[in-house]
Structure 1
Amino acid sequence: MSTTRGEYVRAQQAWAVDQERLRHSQALHALGEYVMFCLLWTARDHDNGLVGLCTVCASDRISRAYGQASRNKCPQCFGTRFEGGYRALIVRPAIFTDADDSQSFTARGTVSPQEVHLETTSDFRVRSGDYVMRATGERLQLRAPQRTTLRTGFGTPYQHETATAYNLARAAVEDEDSVAYMIPPDQDTLAEILSRTGAVPPSFGDVEVIRAPLIPLHERD
């Protein structure tokens, strides 16, 4: 006589992910500040047919030979080599740590980068090289982001399904002569945008620019 023992396989609990995301969002809106993220085009976006090459600086011999923009401060692509320069300009709440003063030796000489850590919402993906703009006038370049997902079962923790705080990143303040300060809007307009009051949360749909999915289909893992 044989018996079959039943086994219970845990299913993913969507409600747990929703609750954890809500807690993160509440903390960001309550304790953070509004900032504008500039998400740049990359070579992978070009390979996937999402963007073309810059018509100003990506058509000369140097650019074709080395696969890089021939002008770092190109007013059309901001040194990315791709048309328009960025795939999105979006406003999100973020929490920053205090800046750490340090010195490092680079090709430019001795510089004093100010590095901070930040956390923002999980509904978009940042990459190394993207920028974040603050109402204080600082523009920072983002380093490699970290991933935080909530595993509630045996399913694969894809970002768009289980991420609770994907965008944990280091950022360094850019020098004032950086191409980052060429990206619109100008500082006065940016400060006005990020200081909006009224609705909670305020709407920024009239100033945001989204040219591709905030989490590209080929990166939803």
Structure 2
Amino acid sequence: MDTTRGKYVRAQQGWAVDQERARHDQALWSLGEAVMFCLMWTARDYDNGLVALCTRCASDRISRAYGQAAQNKCPNCFGTRFEGGFRALIVRPAIFTDADDSQSFTARGTVSPQEVHLETTSDFRVRSGDYVMRATGERLQLRAPQRTTLRTGFGTPYQHEVGTAYNLARAAVEDEDSVAYMIPPAKEELVEILSRTGPTPPSWADIEVIRAPLIPLHERD
């Protein structure tokens, strides 16, 4: 009697994931634009010991009690409460949808939101509240991203193993008086950085800042 039937579990095919990622990256580098992503620190990073509280605006008793920064436009933490404000500044290609000008009435008055969708590479994790900076000078705040994974077997589809296009996100243009425009680099330097030519893709290793893993270990699922 054959007792092995039904016990075979097909292994995940890593080559299929690699090929799909390569196709996405090729399309992004061919058709997209170079943008700078500013990945901000969050309370989860603080809980995991990756960052300390801001020494300028989050060290007093009121800030600690309410869990909020003492000033929104703190030049040290940019309103996050955490030292340095951001965990990474990196340059990646991205493809954006077109934005339509519109107006809406809110408690703060009449605003003109410009919301777009974007896709970028899957080698880092964006979160709601991160920023993306374009060579046009615009800075957009990212909303909660979407996940796209490739199932090639019966294993658990962890994002760092089978994610092909995790960073599909919505983004809204920030007003020019937003704290987002305090984050370096300044507009002129940003345009120069994103306009680099040379090898495809050019190297931005000299200006990128990475203070923690781009996909934190506690989020690799």
Same fold (TM over 0.5): yes
Query: In structure 1, what residue type is equivalent to 2:185?
Result: P
1:87-98 mapped onto 2 (5 Å cutoff): 87-98=87-98
Quote the residue 2:148 is aligned against.
148
Structure-2-length-normalised TM-score: 0.97
Find the aligned partners of 1:182 and 1:73 in 2 and give their Cα distance.
8
What is the CA-CA distance between 1:61 and the residue it aligns to? 3.2
Find the aligned partners of 1:216 and 1:4 in 2 and give their Cα distance.
42
1:101 alignment partner, SS class = coil
The alignment of Structure 1 onto Structure 2 pairs a total of residues equal to 220
Unaligned runs of 5+ in 1: none
Find the aligned partners of 2:217 and 2:211 in 1 and give their Cα distance.
14
Find the aligned partners of 2:82 and 2:58 in 1 and give their Cα distance.
8
Structure 1 residues 155 and 37, CA gap change in structure 2 (3 angstroms): same
1:17-166 mapped onto 2 (5 Å cutoff): 17-166=17-166
Quote the residue 1:174 is aligned against.
174
Find the aligned partners of 1:115 and 1:201 in 2 and give their Cα distance.
27
Q: Deviations over 1:34-78 (max 9, x none)?
A: 000000000000010000000110012331221000100000000
Structure-1-length-normalised TM-score: 0.97
After the TM superposition, which segments of 4 or more aligned residues of structure 1 sit over 6 Å from their partners?
none
Q: Deviations over 1:85-117 (max 9, x none)?
A: 000000000000001323223332110100000
Query: In structure 2, what residue type is equivalent to 1:16?
Result: A
Query: In structure 2, what residue type is equivalent to 1:215?
Result: I
What is the CA-CA distance between 1:5 and the residue it aligns to? 5.5
Find the aligned partners of 2:111 and 2:160 in 1 and give their Cα distance.
38
1:173-212 mapped onto 2 (5 Å cutoff): 173-212=173-212
Quote the residue 2:5 is aligned against.
6
Query: In structure 2, what residue type is equivalent to 1:200?
Result: T
Query: In structure 2, what residue type is equivalent to 1:92?
Result: R
Quote the residue 1:218 is aligned against.
218
Find the aligned partners of 1:120 and 1:214 in 2 and give their Cα distance.
14
Find the aligned partners of 1:112 and 1:181 in 2 and give their Cα distance.
18
What's the Cα RMSD here? 1.0
Query: In structure 2, what residue type is equivalent to 1:158?
Result: Y
